[in-house]
A = this chain, B = another copy of it.
Amino acid sequence: MTDRRSYWAWGMESQEPTPAKREAAAKAMSERFGASLDTVQARSVEQLDLRPSRITAPDTLSEIVTADTYERAFHTYGHSFRDRIRKFSGDFQNPPDLVAYPRNEADVVSLLDWCGGAGYAAIPFGGGSSVVGGVESPEGYDGVVTLDMTRMDRVLEVDDISRAVRVQGGTLGPLLEAQLKPHGFTMRHFPQSFEYSTVGGWIVTRGGGHYATNHTHIDEFVESVRMVTPAGPWESRRLPGSGAGPSPDRLALGSEGILGVVTEAWMRIQGRPRFRASTGVSFPSLESVSDAARAIAQAKLWPANLRVLDPGEGQAMAGLDGKTAILIIGFESAEVPQDAFIHEAVAIARDYGGQVDDDEIVISPAPEGARASNDAAGRQGAVGAWREAFISLPYDWNDITGLGVIADTFETSITWDRWPEFDNAVRSATQDALNRVCGGGSVTARFTHIYPDGPAPYYSFTGLGKPGSELSQWAEIKTAASDAVIAAGGTITHHHAVGRDHRPWYDKQRPDLFAAALRATKQAVDPSSILNPGVLIDP
């Protein structure tokens, strides 16, 4: 049987944890929390009980539309903590009625025409990696059709002079990279969801990726966007830069499927890195490592990687001692040796009390005259450990779902002047909620992206809840954390998007008149309000 995405776990069905693996995870968690946690096994698709589809597609669309239970279940949710619990517990109250797989833009147009005429909601769906309720069916519609874009997955054109690619919106990360590789290029947009997120999804959620400084969000890599809206096509001109009115692309970026479906985009691409330089610098405190990160960012050396792990995160993700913070620094280039750059960055880090031996600075290819060093710079030591943990995290969560463990993350950004107070406020609000709800737990933080004017902190929290009550327990912690983020001046999301889950805080954050502008814009391009209703603004 062909492999397919797991309806509940991150990854493919073949990657679902075995019963033995889940039992081992239960044992480990029992030890960690001093409790006795029972392993429940996941339901099979056949055991799921979904409300029958309320609608039927016209014959002209039957080839690309399905009411199959697996398809409807898989497309009901994204991959947030809340989604994981609901899927694992068999809670599929409000699935889409139909799932469509458009093969081309004409199919997208037909689907939107049909939904618009019938008053059905249409939910654009890329890789389904949303952690903010971005792909859920809304209430109050007679029918809901999810548009799974992953059949539109081709690179259509590579411009190797300008270094740009025309690619379809439904192309998943690995498929994009595989199609670029023969041309010697890479997009290098590697969110944690890379395997199961699409170019179109990156664009409409303003995804953040590989690069920790300078151009961090997908925004900066967009040369032009083509969307299909219910009112017709929206396509910007391909340009390296422009000052002609407000940027049309910047309105598509972050629109989260409420304005249109991204069918194609011209994206800026990179030469494949040949030169690398990386290291991990140890610091005695979060304060000192933050100061060093700020100084490197303000010196505008623009390392590809510049990530701070606080002592807790350093212990959990990179095997450190729990007292040491670490600054991971990585430079890379297709054209230029990076020795000089990393030495400047390390010199700044040392000025702020950072500790690193010269022979822990890994440069590849090794500079002439130096002793040979491992060619896979950035793949070993604390840096390598962190990278492994980063990629495997969503799979680790598969193992513990349903045990009662509450484990989630949230991310934000804040200007440097507010940073230490912001961290104190957010951390203590989250810790207090964990103590209240779970009788304890851990809160750790890292910086995923660093700007000259402030960091993007990414918090992880874990506590032991009660199986069956995880959702309300989680909601109390998430609410406390989000309230603190907004009260202390942060953004409710740096790169995870707003969706439905972040709405209460987003509504406090954005200018009211911008919401009015967005509603007016939606009315202009989606007059029947069929596209992803409830996301960003009220229908």
Which residues from chain A sit less than 8 Å from chain B, CB to CB?
159, 161-164, 205-208, 214, 216-217, 219, 223, 229, 231-248, 250-256, 268, 271, 294-295, 298-302, 333-336, 340-341, 344, 348, 413-417, 449, 451-456, 489-498, 502, 506, 509-514, 516-521, 523-525, 536
Contact = CB atoms under 8 A, between A and B. Distances in A.
B509 A237 contact: yes
Given A511-B234, A520-B524, A244 B506 contact: yes
Contacts of A159: 415, 417
Contacts of A513: 229, 231-234, 524-525
A207 B243 contact: yes
B245 A416 contact: no
Given A244-B509, A513-B232, A335 B298 contact: yes
A452 B495 CA distance: 24
A234 B514 contact: yes
A340 B345 CA distance: 14
The 4 closest A-B pairs by CB, nearest first: A240-B454, A250-B250, A520-B520, A240-B451
A246 B254 contact: yes
A300 to B, nearest CB: 7
A413 B241 contact: yes
Contacts of A525: 513, 516-517
B511 A236 contact: yes
Contacts of A516: 231, 524-525
B456 A240 contact: yes
Contacts of A242: 206, 413, 491, 493-494
Contacts of A514: 234, 236, 248, 251
A251 B246 contact: yes
A504 to B, nearest CB: 12
B241 A162 contact: no
A451 B241 contact: yes
Contact of A452 (B163, B208, B232): B163
Contacts of A512: 232
Q: Could you say which of A217, A344, A454 has the most chain B C-beta atoms within 10 Å of its C-beta?
A: A454
A301 B244 contact: no
Contacts of A340: 340-341
Given A161-B416, A248-B514, A333 B299 contact: yes
Contacts of A244: 254, 491-493, 497-498, 502, 506, 509-510
Contacts of A271: 298
A340 to B, nearest CB: 4
Contacts of A238: 415, 489
A246 B413 CA distance: 16
Contacts of A453: 162-164, 223, 240, 268
A222 to B, nearest CB: 11
A239 B536 CA distance: 19
A62 to B, nearest CB: 30
B298 A518 contact: no
A245 B515 CA distance: 10
B417 A162 contact: yes
A229 B214 CA distance: 32
B240 A414 contact: yes
Contacts of A335: 295, 298-300, 348
Nearest to A505: B244
Given A234-B513, A268-B453, A521-B520, A206 B163 contact: no
A253 B248 contact: no
A45 B239 CA distance: 44
Contacts of A235: 511
Nearest to A223: B453
B161 A417 contact: yes
A237 to B, nearest CB: 6
Given A246-B255, A518-B246, A525-B516, A241 B494 contact: yes
Contacts of A162: 415-417, 452-454
A294 B451 CA distance: 26
A418 to B, nearest CB: 8
Nearest to A299: B335
A274 to B, nearest CB: 11
Contacts of A217: 241, 243
Nearest to A452: B163
Nearest to A159: B417
A179 B490 CA distance: 28
Contacts of A519: 524
Given A163-B452, A217-B243, A240-B413, 19 more contacts: A161-B294, A162-B415, A162-B416, A164-B415, A236-B514, A237-B491, A239-B491, A240-B414, A240-B452, A242-B413, A243-B494, A243-B496, A244-B254, A245-B254, A248-B514, A271-B298, A335-B348, A517-B525, A519-B524
